[in-house]
Structure 1
Amino acid sequence: MQKIILLVTSLTISTWSAWAQSPTPPSQRANTRFEQLGPMLPTPNTFRTASGAPGKDYFQNRADYDIKVALDDAHQKITASETITYHNNSTDILPYVWIQLDQNLFRPDVISKTSQTGGINAERGASLQQLNATKSLAEKDYGYKITSVRDQAGKPIKYTINETMMRIDLPQPVSPGKSATFSIDWNFNIVDVRNVGARSGYEFFPKDGNYIYEMAQWFPRLCAYNDVTGWQNKQFLGRGEFTLIFGNYKVAITAPNDHIVGATGELQNATQVLTPTQQKRWNEAKNKGDKAGENPVLIVTQAEAEAAEKGKPTGTKTWIYKADNVRDFAFASSRKFIWDALQPNVEGKRVWAMSLYPKEANPLWGQYSTRLVAHTLRSYSRRTIAYPYPVAYSVHGPVGGMEYPMMSFNGARPEADGTYSVGTKNFLISVVIHEVGHNFFPMIVNSDERQWSWMDEGLNTFLEGLACLEWDADFPAHGIDPQYIVDYMRLDSTQQVPIMSSSDNIPGNTFGPNAYTKPGTALNILRETVMGRELFDYAFKEYARRWAFKSPEPADFFRTMEDASGVDLDWFWKGWFYTVQPVDQALVKVDWFQASSQNPDITKADARAEAQRKMNTISKQRDALSKDETVVAQDSTMRDFYNRYDPYAVTDNDKKKYQDYLASLTAEERLLAEAGTNFYTLSLQSKGGIPMPVIIRMEFEDGTDSVARFPAEIWRFNDVAVKKVIATPKKVKQWTLDPFYEIADINTEDNSFPPVAKPTRFQLFKQQGRSSAPNPMQQQRQQAPARQGTGKN
């Protein structure tokens, strides 16, 4: 027996890497996968450091707004004016400022451009929704009508509109540390969300003749100016969302006097716009929401909302909202709104959790929405920073899901009879958590959405998945579950783009997986498989702390995650974020070795068994029937010493040699020799391109099992094929690679050894129509009278 020193503890699995690595063929470029990102990231500087933290010269400009807006419910129109004070905190002199005019997306000339770049053209074809939207937009004059741009003294200022952007040429350049004040007057026709597919607008309810307005991107807003891009004035093409700066807002919203208006910020004139009953209920809702089963307080009941639907306004009311240190402002208005509220404790601070919704949203919304708002604030605050704002709204209307500071627009509407499918319920849970969660990313951690969708959508999808599972352990959080991203990662590379792609350059049919679920899943894999929960959670929280109320770039995130955890993750960012390669590991074969103990009781018994196995041929089995007829069997004189000799019997000499051998071994060598350790050499391949940790499950002959884990760095010297040796005192009957579906392996058919055959099942059915049951609640309700008639429960 070759002497091998190996520590083996009793009944535990030991892994041994000495035999593990195959030599690296010259054609392989394994090291490039594990080299640092280096020139792929911007050079650290005094604005953004190598650790991923803001530097000593980091700056961000801000804009404060004083806005007066009137909602015309008769003509679905906005008329408004604003005074903006722009603060230049950079070291640059700015002769002009850029303003975002998002409503201009619906202007005919802009529509033509965006249709050709991303939507309708002869080559791609068009959906009915796209055609209907184009027709709807052509029937009315949409987009901003800028009626005035003036300086602080009231004098006109020169401006130039370039599609969805407007440049204002300041009378005097704004110097570093100084500010400029100017005003803008405008109006526009509000779009029908359901016809156009917009992020904000109105929905008309023909049955009662009323509207719900969800107003966002409704006022001219300052573009961001920073150390990375200068002015971020990329055109708004509809997909790349919003890059904005922080400021203080005071907004007076004039609406019909029977409307309920919710908005970003705190209501300043509650005694003027709320009835005494509503004020009383408001006070009743304070400090509620900490106990399980504590329902929201209805400030406006469904009966009161239904009564308002049938009435007529007799004038207007002005609701005044104030919000400090926010990057945007949105509001919602309707006479159809039911309004409920709680004020739970979030990290030691009372925060209003509120919902606005019409009767068409019940019973789902009354049961779930506000409770979900409170849950989201708690969950996200634990993982990032304590929610800093005083309120968070969830509003039901035509927008399926969209986010703004303290204000989210969410879909999910039950059937007209009040029933709903599990899919509708789960969508409500996930969309409220997702959109309310956006208060943290990007409303607080203020990333550049126009450029990097994944920095808000991907990070938020990850946190949404965790919050959904904290809501219900059985919730299908597929957005972060590795096995649900494999269909996307199986696509041909020509049908994908890297996560690190500009928002407007991601094809529409892959935008969801690319910006939401792939980065969300990647972060979940980092947390569960690569880093571990403790290291990941600390680093992620540090990223949120460092960049709260600031504007990070991708490098700031990558660097902070490594800096705060002490884990080199450049290989991971490269594979998951910079390429479109998949994960595809294979367990090619397993070779079994066993060290010879040289114990004659064992070695000779094994030799006997092997000899008997070889002698057990079909001829020997048949000849055994006539063995008594042989010469030796019938004539005893033909037998000698060797007919009686047993070569497999253990002799005294055998035992003495074995004891002498044991005496020559060290204690560790003797343990190995006596244990009968099994050595298995696993031949592994990485077919997909992204190196990932290797997780192997071993099922032993005694019915127990165990899991061995190897870090991704085992591919460092050979990114195509490696061998790993596992030593165990037990015999393994089945090996399974990635047994818990942790790494998003796109092909699990080659993950077992010996291979496990899986049947392909086909369905037997009669040649007749088959019905589906998407709404069991509705079916049960429809069947209830029949069951009652039989007297059965």
Structure 2
Amino acid sequence: MKKLLVAPALLLVAAPAVAQEYHPRETFAPLDLSQGVNRYRSSNGLPGPDYWQNHADYAIRATLDTKAKALRGSERITYTNNSPDTLRIIWLHVEQNLYKAESRGYLANGGPVRGTTGGAMIDSAAIGIGKGESQPVTPTINDTRMQIVLPAPLKPGESATIEIAWHFTIPGTFGGRMAWGTSRDGEIYDLAQWYPRVAVYDDIRGWDPLPYLSQEFYSEYGDFDYWLTVPSDMIVAGSGELMNPKDVLTPTQIDRLDKARRSDKTVTIRSPQEIDDPASRPKRDGTLTWHFRMENTRDVAWTASSKFAWDAARINLPDGKSALAQSVYPAESAGPDRWGRSTEYVKDAVERFSAKWYPYPWPNAINVAGPATGMEYPGIVFDGIDDKGKMLFWITAHEIGHGWFPMIVGFDERRHAWMDEGFNTFIDVYESDEFNHGEYAPKRDGEYAPGGGNPVDEILPILADKDAPPIMSRADTVIEKYRHPVTYFKTALGLVLLREQILGPKRFDHAFRRFADAWAFKHPKPDDFFRAMASDAGEDLDYYWRGWFLNNWQMDLAATRIAYVDNDPTKGALVTVEARDKLIIPATLRVTFADGSTKDVRLPAETWIRQAATAVPVGGTSKVVKAEIDPDHKLPDKDRKNNVVTG
């Protein structure tokens, strides 16, 4: 009833009009998401009853030529059209073309070319539809994309077989995400983006073959078998499971791996002292072929070197399952404060992420010390030869965490890098807090809070920067100055605030886990996440999505006045709180009374849904000597000087 909407006590202390940036109808306006709801994607943010996804299986054979610094290979792709559409073309990625001098990626970087190669050379291509015979085709190559016009329509439910032969020169350390380089004692080859792969065809854009600008990927899921022929003195580590250990390992190494699968302590497979021992390889001349298999993955990558030490330990997964944590690194990286702890870090991260968010699905998780530093692929990550201590832990946990986002939950990191890097930085926060009783805590993406500064203070310069892009900006438009502060740090902090200040861990964790489980090995979009969190948590979060993710708004809450019912402290006090800028986040108001007692009052977002200033009944029977908003310093308030009012 109307009389219940306006409490008489509030009429006695009507808040003064406030001239400011805050306007309730702007912050709390309805948010019309860009992606419609249909039978493919439901209103609750989860896959709909008719959700579909195409599928690509790969059989790849490649040979590493260490003298020419080249890789030559062939592949057979079985591509299944699960969509309701008839396809007449297929797009593939040929990401090695990034290294051509005229590539879009080099031009987009706006600076000098770091180094070039001839890109991917396609030696032959053929395609067959259904059970029909393969026919040679001449692909059309445009930058890092390759289009194949089908000889016949690929109807819903049908499969096409694509056969491609190719070769390329492996880039040196200028390759960035994949490269070959030299450690102190010898060469290391980190091979990624190494085979033509089918682009995603989805229900949002159809074919989505954005050119590769060195801004990561959007890939289809499938099963991979791949065979790698390398010099016999090399150790190879690759995504998935090694299928022929007896062909490429010594009996001693096989026994040690079996021991590692039963051990929670790190077990040496090949020690630094054994690297140059001929007995550590089945043969020292010629070549060996390593066969790996990985199922239900969006990619595979691998590394090879004759100078690798190797260790491993068991990963304990939910429901009694297990996997193997592994590390390969040159002798110069060994040591108890260096890569000697890498497998410990991998094991701990995978176990905690599996227990907290979603069980790790693959047989191995591998950390590599090599030239392609700080980059992730399913089941394997590339880190730095010189990494050590807390930085090695932070980088390892972060890169391994990408196994969840975007390797399990298949975000389109090409367009929405914040869902890839920000989600992963978010789960890093808790891993750093929990590992070995906080040995390396806190981490709030250490580049932005060196020395463990308060993250809500560290973000303030970004929120105040009129040129800083919103989180939801297209990834390719975010320049390097803002890429980490916005894409990684602001996104992660936004999720921390959502979990700890808005929803609470119980509601957040349930919604977040349900989202991850529903979209595992699928392709969620930003709107799916926004809908899933709001629906499961039972909260209208439009104001928060708009302020933190769609805009770069600032927050300024203030406590401005203390008053009393009928001017009598024994009848209870009222504290006026104001919103002076556009961003709203629920807050705590802590009141201290003259009798020494304190009281915390939780202020929901609706405190400011109709007006900028609200008089909050705080009770009490004695005078209020102090009232403070956000007393525990949990919110990114740009002006903390106005957070306190005294009486």
TM-score normalised to structure 1 length:
0.75
**2:313 aligned with 1:345, yes or no?**
no
Give 2:176's aligned residue: 198
Give 2:84's aligned residue: 91
Q: 1:371 aligns with which of 344, 369, 386?
A: 344
**8 Å Cα contact 2:71/2:170 also seen in 1:** yes
**8 Å Cα contact 2:182/2:371 also seen in 1:** no
Moved more, 304-313 or 530-539: 304-313
**8 Å Cα contact 2:494/2:548 also seen in 1:** yes
Cα distance in 2, alignment partners of residues 304 and 183 from structure 1: 41
Listed as ranges, the matches of 1:62-141 within 5 Å are 62-110=55-103, 113-120=104-111, 131=112, 134=113, 136-137=115-116, 141=117
Q: 2:404 aligns with which of 433, 440, 444?
A: 440
Cα distance in 1, alignment partners of residues 10 and 70 from structure 2: 71
Give 2:425's aligned residue: 461
Query: 2:615 aligns to what SS in structure 1?
Result: strand
**2:633 aligned with 1:741, yes or no?**
yes
Displacement, 1:694?
Answer: 2.6
**When the two structures are aligned, how many residues end up with a matched partner?**
625
Q: 1:586 aligns with which of 558, 574, 596?
A: 558
Q: Which residue type is aligned with residue 633 of structure 2?
A: Y
Query: 1:676 aligns to what SS in structure 2?
Result: helix
Listed as ranges, the matches of 1:547-566 within 5 Å are 547-566=519-538
Query: 1:536 aligns to what SS in structure 2?
Result: helix
Q: 1:506 to 1:596 in 2, by over 3 A?
A: closer
Q: 2:290 aligns with which of 319, 323, 326?
A: 319
**8 Å Cα contact 2:316/2:323 also seen in 1:** yes
Moved more, 521-530 or 369-378: 369-378
Cα distance in 1, alignment partners of residues 579 and 307 from structure 2: 58
Cα distance in 1, alignment partners of residues 239 and 12 from structure 2: 63
**8 Å Cα contact 2:235/2:305 also seen in 1:** yes
Displacement, 1:313?
Answer: 4.8
Query: 1:467 aligns to what SS in structure 2?
Result: helix
**8 Å Cα contact 2:587/2:602 also seen in 1:** yes
Q: 1:204 to 1:324 in 2, by over 3 A?
A: same
Q: 1:219 to 1:19 in 2, by over 3 A?
A: farther
Q: 1:400 to 1:735 in 2, by over 3 A?
A: farther
Rg larger for: 1
Q: 1:715 to 1:167 in 2, by over 3 A?
A: same
Cα distance in 2, alignment partners of residues 170 and 741 from structure 1: 60
Give 2:50's aligned residue: 57
Give 2:120's aligned residue: 144
Cα distance in 2, alignment partners of residues 18 and 558 from structure 1: 38
Q: 1:701 to 1:478 in 2, by over 3 A?
A: farther
**2:384 aligned with 1:382, yes or no?**
no
Q: 1:211 aligns with which of 187, 196, 214?
A: 187
Q: What's the % identity of the aligned pairs? A: 35
* CA displacement 1:12-39 (0-9 Å, x = unmatched): xxxx87778759899974124223322x
**8 Å Cα contact 1:412/1:425 also seen in 2:** no
Q: 1:249 to 1:77 in 2, by over 3 A?
A: same
**8 Å Cα contact 1:306/1:359 also seen in 2:** no
Give 1:722's aligned residue: 614
Moved more, 426-435 or 405-414: 405-414
Cα distance in 1, alignment partners of residues 297 and 565 from structure 2: 67
Displacement, 1:703?
Answer: 5.0
**8 Å Cα contact 1:309/1:335 also seen in 2:** no
Cα distance in 2, alignment partners of residues 742 and 698 from structure 1: 17
**8 Å Cα contact 1:212/1:333 also seen in 2:** yes
**2:222 aligned with 1:251, yes or no?**
no
Q: 2:370 aligns with which of 377, 397, 400?
A: 397
* CA displacement 1:212-246 (0-9 Å, x = unmatched): 1111111111100000011111111112x100010
Q: 1:286 to 1:157 in 2, by over 3 A?
A: same
Q: Which has the higher helix share?
A: 1
* CA displacement 1:242-301 (0-9 Å, x = unmatched): 000101110001111111101111111001111011011111112222xxxxx2101111
**8 Å Cα contact 1:223/1:231 also seen in 2:** yes
**8 Å Cα contact 1:489/1:746 also seen in 2:** no
* CA displacement 1:440-479 (0-9 Å, x = unmatched): 1111111111111111111111111111111143602223
Q: Which residue type is aligned with residue 688 of structure 1?
A: D
**8 Å Cα contact 1:19/1:725 also seen in 2:** no
Give 1:668's aligned residue: none
Give 1:477's aligned residue: 443
Cα distance in 1, alignment partners of residues 13 and 501 from structure 2: 21
Instruction: Structure 2: give runs of 5+ residues left out of the alignment.
Output: none
Displacement, 1:350?
Answer: 1.1
Q: Which residue type is aligned with residue 744 of structure 1?
A: P
Cα distance in 2, alignment partners of residues 693 and 427 from structure 1: 34
Q: 1:365 to 1:20 in 2, by over 3 A?
A: farther
**8 Å Cα contact 1:412/1:428 also seen in 2:** no
Give 1:658's aligned residue: none
Cα distance in 2, alignment partners of residues 743 and 21 from structure 1: 27
**8 Å Cα contact 1:261/1:331 also seen in 2:** yes
**2:575 aligned with 1:681, yes or no?**
yes
Cα distance in 1, alignment partners of residues 534 and 643 from structure 2: 31
Displacement, 1:486?
Answer: 2.2
**8 Å Cα contact 1:149/1:182 also seen in 2:** yes
Moved more, 58-67 or 356-365: 356-365
Cα distance in 2, alignment partners of residues 584 and 310 from structure 1: 63
Displacement, 1:154?
Answer: 5.3
Displacement, 1:488?
Answer: 3.9
Cα distance in 2, alignment partners of residues 591 and 360 from structure 1: 65
Query: 1:409 aligns to what SS in structure 2?
Result: strand
Cα distance in 2, alignment partners of residues 510 and 370 from structure 1: 32
Q: 1:309 to 1:118 in 2, by over 3 A?
A: farther
Displacement, 1:512?
Answer: 0.7
Q: Which residue type is aligned with residue 29 of structure 2?
A: E
TM-score normalised to structure 2 length:
0.91
Cα distance in 1, alignment partners of residues 555 and 274 from structure 2: 56
Give 1:785's aligned residue: none
* CA displacement 1:482-516 (0-9 Å, x = unmatched): 425423434322x1111111110112110112211
Query: 1:168 aligns to what SS in structure 2?
Result: strand
Instruction: Structure 1: give runs of 5+ residues left out of the alignment.
Output: 6-15, 121-130, 290-294, 415-423, 598-674, 756-793
Give 1:185's aligned residue: 165
Give 1:299's aligned residue: 269
* CA displacement 1:370-398 (0-9 Å, x = unmatched): 11111111221223221111111111112
* CA displacement 1:679-719 (0-9 Å, x = unmatched): 1432x33233111213222344455544222011111012x
Q: Which residue type is aligned with residue 274 of structure 2?
A: E
Give 1:711's aligned residue: 604
**8 Å Cα contact 2:315/2:351 also seen in 1:** no
Q: Which residue type is aligned with residue 222 of structure 1?
A: V
Displacement, 1:596?
Answer: 6.9
Displacement, 1:751?
Answer: 2.0
Cα distance in 1, alignment partners of residues 608 and 370 from structure 2: 51
Cα distance in 1, alignment partners of residues 263 and 406 from structure 2: 28
**8 Å Cα contact 1:62/1:246 also seen in 2:** yes
**8 Å Cα contact 1:308/1:335 also seen in 2:** no
**8 Å Cα contact 1:271/1:279 also seen in 2:** yes
Cα distance in 2, alignment partners of residues 115 and 596 from structure 1: 70
Listed as ranges, the matches of 1:482-493 within 5 Å are 482-493=455-466
**8 Å Cα contact 1:20/1:725 also seen in 2:** no
Query: 2:236 aligns to what SS in structure 1?
Result: strand
Displacement, 1:155?
Answer: 3.6
Cα distance in 2, alignment partners of residues 446 and 135 from structure 1: 30
**8 Å Cα contact 1:383/1:540 also seen in 2:** no
Displacement, 1:747?
Answer: 2.6
